[in-house]
């Protein structure tokens, strides 16, 4: 059994999280849950603070006056906590949303839509290619609500639905296995590092 107090802290925390699932909602689980939220928030706030100092405050002190603009936009977000000036928070938010939208407009077309369409332009010379082309088309037909889903459209969209279910099943299998391997790592740490039952 480990004599390192940090290993004990890690193990008790891990057991606390697992206890919420394996047993029921309990004091240890809720305490550990709140500790985790507190630590994670502090970590992200601190990372943000460092970004602010390194990218904003330090260059501003060196004379890069233009950085006053993002600083003011950032500060405008805090007006949300006042009733009278809350509308000013829209300025900072508008900036963040504008950048996000501008990036998304190009990225969605250039990095997602066109490459996927291009990759699906396959010659129908093998069964796999036929499944790929018809699979994609049938799912798109399923989401095409401008035409009433009856007759041939209904049949094609039904195939699309089956294809999607297959995709979801495959994704589910992968996700579950990923999480199980994570759990195995946690159990390995408990049984090995803490209790010394594994070499």
From the CB of 137, what's the least distance to other proteins, in Å?
8
Question: DSSP letter string over 83-133?
Answer: SSSGGGHHHHHHHHHHHHHHHHHHHIIIIIIHHHHHHT---TTSHHHHHHH
Of 110, 124, 191, 195, the residue at the interface with other proteins (CB under 8 A) is: 110
136 is a contact residue toward other proteins (CB under 8 A): yes
Residues 156-185 that bind other proteins (CB under 8 A): 160-177, 179-180, 182-183, 185
Q: Measure the CA–CA gap between 120 and 123, rounded to whole angstroms.
A: 9
How far does Cα 170 stand from its chain's mean position? 19
191 is a contact residue toward other proteins (CB under 8 A): no
50 is a contact residue toward other proteins (CB under 8 A): yes
89 is a contact residue toward other proteins (CB under 8 A): yes
From the CB of 151, what's the least distance to other proteins, in Å?
20
Residue 96 vs residues 48, 72, 87, 101, 131: alpha-carbon distances, Å: 15, 13, 15, 9, 41
Site string for other proteins, 52-71 (x = CB under 8 A): xx-xx---------xx-xxx
132 is a contact residue toward other proteins (CB under 8 A): yes
From the CB of 118, what's the least distance to other proteins, in Å?
11
26 is a contact residue toward other proteins (CB under 8 A): no
Half-sphere exposure of 19 (CA within 13 A, CB side): 15
From the CB of 188, what's the least distance to other proteins, in Å?
11
């Amino acid at each position: 059994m480990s004599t390192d107090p940090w290993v004990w802290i890690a193990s008790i925390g891990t057991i606390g999280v697992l206890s919420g699932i394996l047993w029921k909602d309990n004091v240890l689980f809720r305490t550990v849950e709140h500790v985790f939220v507190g630590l994670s928030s502090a970590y992200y706030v601190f990372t943000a603070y460092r970004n602010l100092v390194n990218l904003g405050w330090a260059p501003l002190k060196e004379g890069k006056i233009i950085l006053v603009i993002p600083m003011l936009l950032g500060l405008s977000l805090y007006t949300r906590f006042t009733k009278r000036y809350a509308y000013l928070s829209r300025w900072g938010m508008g900036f963040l949303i504008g950048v996000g939208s501008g990036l998304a407009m190009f990225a969605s077309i250039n990095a997602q839509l066109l490459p996927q369409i291009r990759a699906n332009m396959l010659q129908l010379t093998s069964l796999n290619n036929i499944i790929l082309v018809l699979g994609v088309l049938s799912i798109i037909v399923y989401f095409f609500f401008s035409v009433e889903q009856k007759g041939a459209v209904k049949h094609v969209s039904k195939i699309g639905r089956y294809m999607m279910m297959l995709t979801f099943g495959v994704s589910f299998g992968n996700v579950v296995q990923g999480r199980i391997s994570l759990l195995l790592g946690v159990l390995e740490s408990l049984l090995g590092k803490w209790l010394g039952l594994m070499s």
